[in-house]
Structure formats: C-alpha cells, structure tokens
Amino acid sequence: MFNPLADIVTPRLVLRLMPEEVIAACLSHQLEQAVRLFGTDIPAELLEDMSGLEYGRKELEADSAYLPWSARAMVSKAEGAVVGMIRFHSLPNPEYLQQYAADAVEFGYEVFTPYRRQGYAREAAGAIMKWAAENFNIRHFVASVSPDNEASLKLISSFGFSKIDEVMDEVDGPEHVFLRVLPF
C-alpha cells in the first residue's frame, strides 16, 4: 500500500521528509539538535538560506495535507549525510500556477557545495517527478530558475522543460519559469 510519507529511494539517495521538529530546530539555528533529531549529518550550509524551510512551514501550517509535498532531505546512502534538499512549493494546482497549467506543481532543490556536480539534483528531481506522476497522476511540473544558474538551466532542459515565462521573485530576484508536461 502506498504511503505518501515514506522515503523516496533512488540508487544513491534517500529522499526523506524532514520532520517538523527538525525544521523547527534548523529555523532556530540549533543545528546540533536538528542532527540529533534527524539522525544524520546536516551541513551548516543549510542554515545560510532557510527561506524554503520557512515557506514550507507556512504551507504546512495552512494545510496539513501539504506534508508529503514538503521538504525532503537528500540523504546519501554511501555517506549517510544530507547532501541537499528538495521540495514541492505547494500542493498540486495552486492558484499561482493555474495560468501555466491545470494541476501543476512546482518544485525546487538545492545541493550543498561539497556535493555539487555529482548528479544528485538530477537523481532527486527525476525521483520526485516520478513519485508525483505515479502516485498522484501529476503531469505538469514547473521549475523557476535564475537566468544565471547554468547548472540548473542545463538540468531542467535535460528533462524536457520549456521556458514559458520570466518573473521577478521577491526572494530570489529574476527567474525564468519552465514547464514540463508528461504524456497521459
């Protein structure tokens, strides 16, 4: 039986939901407590920009159904360490995405500096899109990427995303908006 809260497992990663108490410890800059609660190493780099965790916590407070779509740590099977984060920005079909596609969902990711350029973002992005498609019949995926982020632009392009808009994000500045439509 499908459990939407279960880990998403890839060849090299475990995409594990971050429990509310771990997120709260991170947001309080209590990294040691977060590590103890989560049971694996979390790089201090996570504390440098926690806007995604803050946004996710607000989404969860507004609607508990957001939980399976919230922040997942990318845990390396080989190292047992958190190498990055990935999350959906909302439940499927939020009002702000309806201008692009019905039943769309947007996701974002970050790979921490020592682990970049090793294919972790590709592996995690592919896995969460597959998870959403197979378990929730999601066919429209949105990703917003800074026009200066060449690695993410290349990654998004490799999945077949097409540029559909340019926006000014309040936190991240200018972003290009991309859409991927999976066949039915």
| Predicted confidence (pLDDT) per residue in 130-146, tens digit | 999 999 999 999 999 99
Q: Output the pLDDT for position 1.
A: 78
Task: Round to whole Å and give the CA distance between 178 and 164.
Answer: 5
At which residue do the structure tokens 């592996």 appear?
Answer: 123
pLDDT of the residue at 2? 85
Among 46-60, 73-87, 144-158, the minimum mean pLDDT is found in 46-60
Domains, the chain:
8-181 (3.40.630.30)
pLDDT value, residue 169: 84
Average pLDDT in the 5-20 region? Answer: 96
pLDDT for position 71 = 95
Nearest residue to 161 (alpha-carbon basis) of 182, 131, 147: 182
Cβ atoms of 127 and 10 within 8 Å: the answer is: yes
Strand pairing partners for 105? 141
Over residues 59-78, the pLDDT tens digits come to 999 999 999 999 999 999 99
Q: Which helix (H) or strand (E) holds 177?
A: strand 173-181
Evaluate whether 139 touches 133 at the Cβ level (below 8 Å): yes
Q: What is the pLDDT of residue 95?
A: 95
Question: What's the chain's average pLDDT?
Answer: 95
Give the pLDDT mean for 141-165: 96
Number of C-beta neighbours around residue 142 at 10 A = 23
Q: Report the candidate in 149, 148, 158, 141 with the shortest Cα–Cα distance to residue 116.
A: 149
Residue 184: pLDDT over 80: no
DSSP-assigned states of every residue in 91-115:
SSS-GGGTTT-TTEEEEEEEE-GGG
pLDDT at 171: 78
Number of helical H runs and strand E runs in the chain: 5, 8
| pLDDT of res. 30 | 96
Instruction: Give the list of residues 6+ apart from residue 146 with CB closer than 8 angstroms, or none.
Output: 152, 172, 173, 174, 175, 176
Percent of the chain residues past pLDDT 90, beyond the cut: 90
